[in-house]
Structures are given as structure tokens and as C-alpha cells.
Structure 1
Amino acid sequence: MDGRPVLVCTEYEDATADLVIAELNRRRVPVLRFDPGRDFPTPMVLAARTGAGGWGGRLTVGERTADLSAVRALYHRRPSPYPTGSGEQAARFAAQENRRGLGGVLGALPGCLYLSHPQAIARAEYKPAQLAAATRVGLMVPATLITNDPGEAKAFCAEHPTIYKPLHAGAYDVAGEPAGIWAAPVEAGEIDAAVTHSAHLFQAQVPKVADVRAVVVGEQVFSARITAPPGVVDWRAEYQNLTYEPITCPDGTHGALLRFLAAFGLHFGAFDFAMTADGAWWFLECNPNGQWAWLEDAAGLPITTAIADLLENGASQHE
């Protein structure tokens, strides 16, 4: 590939990455797209060598090859996980070697901007770390309890209106059909011994009038007010009945979001806030690799352009 390429690491079907790749193609920025969980070790070929300037060599996918020492940016979107190799011992060994070999090289490229670094994304996915960081940078955080003690949960729910939300939005099925576990109100009388089975997150319910999704790209913040039908606690359960409008991020919040991302070493974050009648934004969570394409269309936010700018400019604009 001629020129300094952008590597796009994502699954085969990723309409969000498609938007960014199309914009980079329009700008004639070379792009090498792959899904390490499905493409390595075939058809991908890795030949990486150490040198004075760090890792060099080549990464080949099909008929396209990238010079590892010249990668300007890596866009870590939604790659498939490396196969676990749950069968025989040799397969398990190979799977771990692939993840640590290819993944290790891709995470240590010289002069490369990461949007964002896979290890930084992994660290930032822990909600307790997010809530602590949000408090440190000056964001307003609702009172929160994480426990497996039913007595503690009952006492917390008795203090104020409370919602329960999962600590991780993983895959979940109901009667064989994919389903989401949404944030939902919970009262003290509903708490029972089932709480002992795992950690639970309980949070004081914010008397919100709307929600806000703030997407941060580099140092730019794109915010949309999301209005759901009355009584809806988790707007994600009502996608068909939402209205969107762009909203300006308060100056103090803007700076806090940048400090939050810097604390985790991120260049991107999709933040969720509850907005009260007085216009205050209460931090709920940050998805360090969240979706944004639907919001770009719904609220008219130029997020694709901002991401393409960051990837095209690479590490030079952050030196």
C-alpha cells in the first residue's frame, strides 16, 4: 500500500466502520481493514521485526500489505474475539499465541494513533472505575451501591428512588431470543436472596427530563438531547419512540469529559447523562467504543468527519 495506512480492526458487518472507511477513501487515505478473530492466521500474514524505531515489517491481508512502521492510525472498532481454542490443547495454545502475537504487535506500533488502544478500552469498560474517574474530574454522579448483600441493597433502596442496571451489557437470551437487560426501577420490597448470586449495581434514580448522549472524538464533543416517552427509564428500550436534537455541552462538562478520557488513555468515548429540569447533566456511564452512526443522522452531528480527521492526521496532532 502506498502512503501511511490506517488500519481498521473490526468485524465483517460493521456499518459504522463503513462510514469512516468511505470517508477515508474519499480523501485517498490508504486503509487496510481486517477482523483478527476471523482473518488470522488465514488469510492474514504477519511478519514483524524489532528495530531501533520499534516494530517494523509487514501485515498482509489478501493482496494488500501495510508497512507496520508506517501505520498512521489504528481504528479499533468491533473486532470478533480471538477464538478461544476450547478444544484440544494444541488449539488452545495456538489461539493464545495468536492473540498475544498479532494483538501484541498491533498494540505496540511506533508513531501510531489509537482510536482507541484496545487495552485502554478494556480498562475503561469497568463501571466502578468509570464512576470513580467521573467523580475525580468533577462530573455529578448519582449515589451508587455495588453489592451482593441483600440487606445493603434493601437499605439503599429505602433511602431514595433506585434503579438497577447491569455492570456489563453482555449477550443475554430469553427463551432463545436475544434480549437486553435495561436499567429499571427497583424497590426495597423486591430485594431478595437472589442478590447474593452476583454483584449488583444500584443507583439513585435521577429525576430527569431528558437524556444526553455526548460523543467525544479527540477534543471535540458532539451532544444530542434524547427525549423518550414519559415514564421510560432506559431510552435504549424505546428506540422507535425517541426524538433527538443537538445540544451544546456545558463548558465545565466539556473539560471534564476530556480529563475523563485522558485518565484512561482514550481518544473516543460515548457518554450517557441524565438531564434534570435545571439543565444539570448527571453522569451515568461511558462506552469507550460505543455506537454513534444512528445519532449522526438523527441529530445532524458530523461525527464521521471528526473521526476521519483524527485518523487521517494520526499521532502528529497529539504530539
Structure 2
Amino acid sequence: MSDGRPVLVLSSAHDVTADVVLRLLAERRVPVARFDPGADLHRGAVLSASYPRGGQRGTLRTATREIDTTRIRSVWVRRPSPYEGPSGLSGQDRGFAAAQALWGAGGILASLPCAHYVNHPWRNRTAEFKPAQLVVAERCGFHVPATMITNDPGEARRFVAGQAGGVVYKPLWNTPYRIDGRPHSVWVRRVGADEVTDAVSVCPHLFQAEVAKAFDVRVTAVGSRLFGARIDSPEIDWRHRQDLMTCASIAVPAAVARSIAAYLAAFGLVYGAFDFAVTSSDVWHFLECNPNGQWAWQPPDITAAVAHAIADELEKGPDS
């Protein structure tokens, strides 16, 4: 039976992945509040904080409930909407309101005094930078493919030409992109030295030695619990055509598990979605870790196990 302290879930009302965990918490009679600050603050929700001697006090009031923010046991930072400002404003006014919401509401929600975060939003942001991921992954003992990040076309060509097994290009961030008004994804793809043009000078590009992989692995980490999924796909980037891939559970080697634990500790993360390329000789090469990666696309047994692990983490709160 719950002690009455609520779990705060920061996500949009249409996040079906969050629904899976919320149902589990409801079955356990853990009180839950769902709040999407980027949207709900424009729909009548109110968030207030005061700072008297002795620390922060606050209230979150939505259409259905009022919460003392000092009693929030856990915060799940899932997929909240961006802070964009009220639709009734435009131009500088809307931009100003959006910035104030980010730094005000975002600051309050990231500073709840007694809450356990999965993950803390500031730690999420730090861990999303791919250059930082590569440095920390190497330090934690992962096998990391040779990588070059540069806006120098000459450096890029020399790096690509010097990798006997070939090179792939990866975007450093999944920036929204449109072609003829339609959303367009930039996938990982092979690139040769003759394809590297002077356009590289426009911004930094990430080039990485291609791993001669036998298959991919996604490891979803929730605290000390690891859930491995082997991914077989004809695509170099399995996300491109998920209808072509097959997935099955796989054990995580002890050495990889130790490196994952060290990596999470280095960034202060509770949750992480790790991607590996595994060779025929069973060498696991670290590719990246999304600190807020999706997980409900995996086989039902893995999805259910991850959902229960997240629910456990949120229910236990900060005291364990």
C-alpha cells in the first residue's frame, strides 16, 4: 500500500508508453500526477514555489488535483512537450514567455527537494551530447569505434580514407528536418572519402569507423537491472526499417554490465538505452546511449519487464 506521496510523470497526454507504467502504479495504489508543463501551463494549470527560510515550498494545481510539491516522491521525466509559449502570442512575446516557462517552471520541476528523478532533466541533457558519451564510454571500459567530429573537410576526408573497414556518418542530434514540407529523418549511412564535400565546413559532422557487426543489441538499463535485446536487420541503421528487423532477448556479458554501471554513475543516470554493434567474435562495441530512449517497441516480455522496473524505481522514491 502506498504511503500517499505521489509520483509526478512529466509527459504529454498522448504518450502511450507512459500509460503502460501508469497502469502498473495504479494497480499498486501509488498516487500519480501526470503533468505536461509545456502545454498544461497554457490550459489552466498553476505551478508555484516559494523560498522561505528552511527551503522550497510549492504547489502544483491541475484540472483534477492539487499537489504539495515537497511531498512528491519521484519524478519521471518522460516526453514532455517543448516550452513554446501560449499560442495566442506571437513573435518576441511568445519567445519571451516560452523562455520564462523553461527557466521558471523547468527550474522548479528540476529542484524538488525530496524527489527521486528518473532521470533528472539536467543530467539527461548533459548525457545527450555525443562527444561526452564517447569520452565517458572509453573511460568506463567500453570498446568504442574510432570517431572523428569535425567541420574541416580535409580532416574528414583523411579520416574516412584511413579506415580500412569503412566509415559511417551520424547526425550529432536528431534535429527536425523537412523536405518539401514533409518530415525527413537523417539515418546513419555509409560514406566514402569522395563523398565528403566542402559542405562539411557548415557545421561539425560525426564520422565513425564502421563495425563489422553480426547483429545489434539494445540494452535498456533501469538502475542496476539490464534488459538486453538482440536486433537482426539488413539495414545498417535498424531504426530505418523496423518492419525488417527481428528482436529477441539476449544476456548482457558481465564486463559490459560493469561498464554500463560505471557509465550511468558517471552521468548520474538511473535510466539509459544503450546501443551496441556486436561482432562475430562477440565483441560489443558501444555506439551511443540515449538517456531517455524509447523501450516499448521491444518484444512483449522485455517491454513488460522494463515497465515493471521503471514502476519499481518510481515507487521506491528517494529513500532506498
Q: Which of the five TM-score ranges fits, normalised by the shorter chain? A: over 0.9
- Give 2:65's aligned residue: 64
Cα gap change, 1:179 to 1:153, in 2 (>3 Å):
same
Cα gap change, 1:290 to 1:149, in 2 (>3 Å):
same
The share of aligned pairs that are identical, in percent, is 46
Shift of 1:151: 1.0
Counterparts of 1:290-305 in structure 2 under 5 Å?
290-297=293-300, 299=302, 302-305=305-308
Please give the alpha-carbon distance, in whole angstroms, between the structure 2 residues aligned to 1:54 and 1:192: 55
Cα gap change, 1:250 to 1:53, in 2 (>3 Å):
farther
Counterparts of 1:49-60 in structure 2 under 5 Å?
49-51=50-52, 54-60=55-61
Counterparts of 1:255-294 in structure 2 under 5 Å?
255-294=258-297
Quote the RMSD (CA, aligned, Å): 1.8
What are the superposed Cα offsets for residues 260-294 of structure 1, whole Å, 9 maximum, x if unpaired?
11111111110100000011110000111000001
Out of 207, 229, 233, the residue aligned to residue 228 of structure 1 is: 233
Q: Does 1:209 align with 2:214?
A: yes
Please give the alpha-carbon distance, in whole angstroms, between the structure 1 residues aligned to 2:94 and 2:303: 47
What are the superposed Cα offsets for residues 219-255 of structure 1, whole Å, 9 maximum, x if unpaired?
11111000002xx211111200111111111111111
Shift of 1:296: 4.5
Counterpart residue type for residue 177 of structure 2: Y
Shift of 1:51: 4.9
Out of 121, 132, 135, the residue aligned to residue 129 of structure 1 is: 132
Question: For structure 1, which segment, 40-49 or 240-249, has the greater mean C-alpha deviation from structure 2 after superposition?
Answer: 40-49
Shift of 1:211: 0.2
- Give 1:192's aligned residue: 197
TM-score (normalizing by structure 2): 0.94
In the alignment of these two chains, the number of paired residues is: 315
Counterpart residue type for residue 94 of structure 1: A
- Give 1:30's aligned residue: 31
What are the superposed Cα offsets for residues 120-152 of structure 1, whole Å, 9 maximum, x if unpaired?
111111100000000011001000000111111
Counterpart residue type for residue 287 of structure 2: L
Shift of 1:52: 5.7
Please give the alpha-carbon distance, in whole angstroms, between the structure 2 residues aligned to 1:228 and 1:57: 49
What are the superposed Cα offsets for residues 142-189 of structure 1, whole Å, 9 maximum, x if unpaired?
000001111111111111110001000121222222221111111111
Indicate if the aligned counterparts of 1:296 and 1:303 stay in contact, CA closer than 8 A. Answer: no
Counterpart residue type for residue 240 of structure 2: A
Please give the alpha-carbon distance, in whole angstroms, between the structure 2 residues aligned to 1:92 and 1:227: 44
SS state at 1:48 partner: strand
